[in-house]
Amino acid sequence: MDREQQKIEILENTEVYSGFLSILKIKLRHRLYNGDMSPVVTRELLERGQAVAVLLYDPDADSVVLIEQFRVGALDDPYSAWLLEVVAGVVEKDESLQDVARREAQEEAGCTPQKLEYIGRYYLTPGGSSEQIHIFYAEIDSSGMHETLGGVEDEAEDIRVLVEPWSKVVELMDSGRINNATAMLALQWLRLRKCTESA
């Protein structure tokens, strides 16, 4: 639908829960493809805001820095509730995306990348959440980072840093051990880049 044809009427917007996350109850109508307005629709929206992820890559060692941490959403995962991820965190008020990328890399992996390359952004689950994730790529020296610990104690973060050779990362991707969207998107981007560079 063209931008000028889009129309949304918000009839009611109420916060029904506020905690670690916020949940809104929204009543709205929107324009249909046939030009009419929809009936009133009620939706709950998980208000999460924006986050930033950073794919940390060591070109000299051909290795990727991954983090491993417990995730409540993976409680019933048949493999583990401890997921392999890339560094990531929520954008706080008045922070630039680049500032968040550097802060999270320092807090979670103990490094501060200088040059950041923007990969892109995506909605995580737009059917019920506002969360957008911006992904960056950064080249670093991963010496001494393997099996170190990271995270912010006040935020109950308990993170293990892993430096894995690219060949093992590919195995982890292909076997399904890396099974979260942000890490998969970032690593598939690197996989395509590597294929393009070697062609």
Residues belonging to the active site: 155
- What is the distance of C-alpha 133 from the center of its chain? 5
Rounded CA separation 181/178 (Å) = 9
Give the C-alpha separation, 195 to 170, whole Å.
13
Q: How far apart (Å, rounded) are the C-alpha atoms in residues 199 and 195?
A: 6
Residue with tokens 């010496």: 143
Helix (H, G, I), strand (E, B) or coil at 100: helix
d(CA 186, CA 164): 15
User: How far apart (Å, rounded) are the C-alpha atoms in residues 84 and 161?
Assistant: 10
- Tally of helices (H runs) and strands (E runs) in the chain: 3, 11
